[in-house]
Structure 1
Amino acid sequence: MLIKIGSLLIGVLFAVSIIVVRMKASNRPTNAKKILLPPVFMSTGFLMFVVPEVRVPWSELIEAFLVGVLFSIFLIKTSKFHVKNDEIYLKRSKAFIFILIGLLVIRTVMKIYLEKSINLPQTSGLFFTLAFGMILPWRIAMYVMYRRLVRRMEIGDVPTTT
């Protein structure tokens, strides 16, 4: 029981840290590296599936990833960029925080439900896969938006604010 509560608290802590990082990110200019590196670093987490207790059928992994992709749509819709002093910034969105909290609640309810039929290591692996399924398309979409804005800046088609 203590492990389940601990894993739940870690999930909440992770979500709060994402909110804090996202709020701070809007105060500094961004670049392609800042957008693309988080999913690259996160991908090392798939090494957990080396441990036999964490392994689940491929169909369940694909399902978890696709649920993450579905959830990423909300993150993509709330991610916008703007130009300030000829630098690109991530625009703050109040909706992002509420969406992230909503996704956390949905994720937590799913986790509590699934833990009744799947052991904790497998649940952790599935929810890691779900999180990766959210972050990968979100960051790819952000990168595409960023590159479009860079191209528009190069041809002088973007108004900048000071």
Structure 2
Amino acid sequence: MRKNIDQKNFLDSVAQSKYNYWFSFVSDATLFVALITYGVFIAFFVLLDIMFFVAGFFLLGLIEYAVHRWVFHNPKTPAFQKHMQHHGDPKRLLALPWFVSTSTLVCLWGLFCLLIGREFASFLVAGMVLGYLYYGLVHHLQHQLPGFWKKRTAYHEIHHKHPNINYGVTTSFWDVVFRTKK
């Protein structure tokens, strides 16, 4: 029991650290460069590589929506309480521990390597990482620079006031698909 409490306290302290917040961008950008470099090094099917990269970017949009709606807004998940802290204080620098997102993306790359090969997996996951970086940047700017991208920011602010609608941070596409756009 004590070990679980210590692990929870450790993860909480990492998630609330401004160093974690900023290092997440560095870690994800490094992974992006590594995947692109490796993908280019072994590239053979350039058009398909580009298609997998674009697919990865858009796949991340669906993942963003799904995690936000069904994990961050599900009271039964450990992430719910932290996400509600974000709703209570949107300017606070709070982020998933950097090693969680990076290791998850690396594991996805490994899985996709088995399923579709190293070349396509590298470009698919690189697209996902770029999408995740884009999400992080847009979400940061929405809360730290409210004048940034006024329409997107207003859309996201509606979500903070009414948490069961407008889950999309970077796009409203999935809110339209799942009928949660208001």
TM-score after normalising by structure 1? 0.49
Which one has a larger percent strand, Structure 1 or Structure 2? 1
